[in-house]
Amino acid sequence: MVNAVYPGTFDPITNGHIDLLKRAAKMFAHVTVAVADNTSKQPLFTINERVAMAASVLADFNNVSVVGFDNLLVEFTRTNNASVILRGLRAVSDFEYEFQLAGMNRSLAPDIETIFLTTAEQYAYLSSSLVKEVARLDGNIAKFVPPQVIAEIDRKLG
């Protein structure tokens, strides 16, 4: 069976990410959630906080692990003995960027495939940035992120 790496910012992990992982965990021997440190987005949470939140939320999955990374994704994928990069697609708007990213990674490492899972409909509109936006404006985020994450957001936003 094949190992996969699921890279992202996970600032913070949402129910959309978790749903995708639930499905991926059945398809791959092991899935490594790879939390990007050198992201051009300016994350609300530090790399350690993002890794800790994801690890806590995913503790019940026995073939999923969470680590931070700051090197080239294809190198990270190889060192984790994985041959698949897993990404999620929500809307057509995700496609352009994902297509470019997959093409670049194939050109860097032709032996690694990018595989996409489409979002579950109920999470199609869900993104980490919208969750933070709603939380900042005191909206209810209980449907979008697990309780541990709500607590961390509350702590961070005060």
Q: Does 12 bind ligand ADP (CB under 6 A)?
A: no
Indicate the residue among 92 and 158 with the shorter CB distance to ligand ADP: 92
Residue 23 among the catalytic residues: no
- Residue showing the smallest CB distance to ligand ADP in the complex: 16
Residue 136 among the catalytic residues: no
Maximum separation of any 2 CA atoms in the chain, in Å: 46
Would you tell me how many other CB atoms lie within 10 Å of the CB of residue 76? 19
Q: Does 105 bind ligand ADP (CB under 6 A)?
A: no
Give the containing element (helix H, strand E) for 46: none
| Contact yes or no for 67/36 (Cβ under 8 A) | no
Q: Does 32 bind ligand ADP (CB under 6 A)?
A: no
Q: Quick one: CA torsion of 4, 9, 12, 16, rounded to 10 degrees?
A: -50
Which residue is catalytic, options 17, 50, 87, 132?
17
Binding residues for ligand ADP, rule CB under 6 A, total: 17
DSSP letter at 119 equals P
Q: Which residues bind ligand ADP (CB under 6 A)?
A: 8-10, 14, 16-17, 20, 41, 87-88, 90, 94, 119, 123, 126-128
